[in-house]
Amino acid sequence: MQPLGKATMIPTVSETLRPAPSRVQNRCLAALSSNAFELIRPHLKETVLTSGDLLWESDRRHTQTFFPASGLVSITLPMQDGAAIEVGSVGSEGAAGLASITEISTRATVLIGGHFAQIDSTKLAQLAQQDAELGEMLRHCRDWLYAQAQRLAACNAVHAADKRLCRWLVACQERMRDGRIYATQETIGALLGMRRTTVTLIAQTLHSGGLIDYARGKIVVRDPARLAEGACECCAHFGPARWPSTRLEAARKSQF
């Protein structure tokens, strides 16, 4: 299998990035109180990233944290044979680039392009030490990555290909605001450790059943409920109830 994406490393510092607006459409940032958000806002920069952009590589220290607004980041573990299996992903529900244990020796690629807010990771850590709410946000985002890595390790080992593909499609569809998933069958197969032909056959079955439509690297989920029914038990562990943004909002209401 070929590595996902093209070798376009995003610069760690860019003067062309625009300051973030008063509110960013990342769910985690939106869940912050006004005081916590105003503390972090001056250090956020808004940028547009495209599919295949490389956020960090396994052999390089990454210095930026990314908050997707309309895009999706895939975190993979590269293998010597060129394969890169997905061990987590982050959309508008969280953040990527927190230098957590699950991000060590991994590669992060923009799977679905869109708008992102980014901040220097060291600065973010300093702010989190100053403000308990920001510290809570980072903890929830890190926990989300840990939970995904653990669940995917078991899922890839024991669950059938069709159920894993349904789980992956549901998880992506729930994060994308328009419900569209922009990814080729070859890319999906590489992330899930499947042959492209296997993905094609499963996708044809799902299409025939009216669950999805697909064409030229775009997948539209037509029946999310039935797709979730066809997924493995892990599907529930990737849903909105487990998102860091959901947990942060609940914690803020009870603590802050």
Give the helix/strand (H/E) hosting 180: strand 180-182
**In the chain, what percentage of residues exceed pLDDT 90?**
75
Per DSSP, the chain holds a count of helices (H) and strands (E) of 9, 12
Determine the residue type at 124.
L
Within 10 Å of residue 105's Cβ, how many Cβ atoms?
Answer: 11
Q: How far is CA 2 from CA 186, 187, 202, 256, in A?
A: 9, 9, 21, 46
For residues 72 and 112, the answer to whether their CB atoms sit within 8 Å is yes
Least confident among 5-14, 139-148, 172-181, 206-215: 5-14
Identical topology for domains 8-155+240-255 and 159-238: no
Higher local confidence (pLDDT), 177 or 112: 112
One of 3.40.50.150, 3.30.70.100, 2.40.50.140, 2.60.120.10 is the CATH number of 8-155+240-255, namely: 2.60.120.10
**Tokens representing residue 78 in the block:** 């590269």
Class of domain 159-238: mainly alpha
Phi and psi at 150, nearest 5°, equal -65, -45
Mean pLDDT score across all residues of the chain: 88
* Residue boundaries of the structural domains of the chain: 8-155+240-255, 159-238
93-120 pLDDT, tens digit each: 999 998 665 667 899 999 999 999 999 9
DSSP letter string, 163-204: HHHHHHHHHHHHHSTT-EEE--HHHHHHHHT--HHHHHHHHH
The DSSP symbol for 146 reads H
pLDDT band per the 50, 70, 90 thresholds, residue 12: very low
15-45 pLDDT, tens digit each: 345 555 545 689 999 999 999 999 999 999 9
pLDDT mean over 134-157: 94
